[in-house]
Each structure stands twice: as C-alpha cells, then as structure tokens.
Amino acid sequence: LKDALISLINDFIHDIRIKSSGGDPHKLAALTEQWQGIEMEYGGNPNVLHRIARLVLQDVNFAALLHDGVASKAGWLRDAAGFIFRLYAMCLEGDLDVTVFEERLLQ
C-alpha cells in the first residue's frame, strides 16, 4: 500500500507540473476532480488521506510549483484552486502536521 500511495502522490504532482505549464483551464480543473477521487477512495480512513495531503504539501516539486505560481501570479492557480483550498482547509482544521512555511505557502 505504501508504494501505491507514493506512486499516487508522484503521479498527482507530475500531473500538476504538466497541466500548469499548458494553461488549459479544463485540464487544470481536472486536478480538483483528481483530488476528489483521492478523497473518495481514502476518505474512509482520514489518517491515510491526511498523510497523502501532507506528503503532497511537503513535496519539494509541489512546493516549488506553488511558490513560483504565487510569485508570478500564474493563471493555473485560479483554475486549480479547488484542491489547493482543500489542502489549506485541512491545515486550518489541524489535520496536517506541517510547518508554518508550508501552511503559509497555501495562503
């Protein structure tokens, strides 16, 4: 199961990287759908879901994409905001054990 989750996280971040460079709003909105699929699959076990969210947020590649996107006011953030807001909500609810820097990255 652990390898499957790591693969899921890596694939999700890879999709973010590819879709953020393309700028297609429909493909970017699909990232939120992809995250919803993750939540539906693992929602029955909140600990696993929170671990996935934490690992996404702590991933160096995701952090760089998010940081660069915010710094450049990239349009992809608007179209993919659904899952970013969900990660932020989990932080606010105290579900994720992340650093202040990681939480601020979502603000």
pLDDT in tens, the chain (107 residues): 689 889 999 999 999 888 888 878 888 888 889 999 999 999 899 999 999 999 999 999 999 999 999 999 988 888 888 889 999 999 999 999 888 888 888 88
Contact 52, 38 (CB under 8 A): yes
Tell me the domain boundaries of the chain: 2-106
SS3 33: helix
Contact 66, 26 (CB under 8 A): no
Angle 33-35-41 (CA atoms, 0-180°, nearest 5)?
105
- Burial (0-12, 13-18, 19+ Cβ within 10 Å), 96: buried
Q: What is the DSSP letter of 80?
A: T
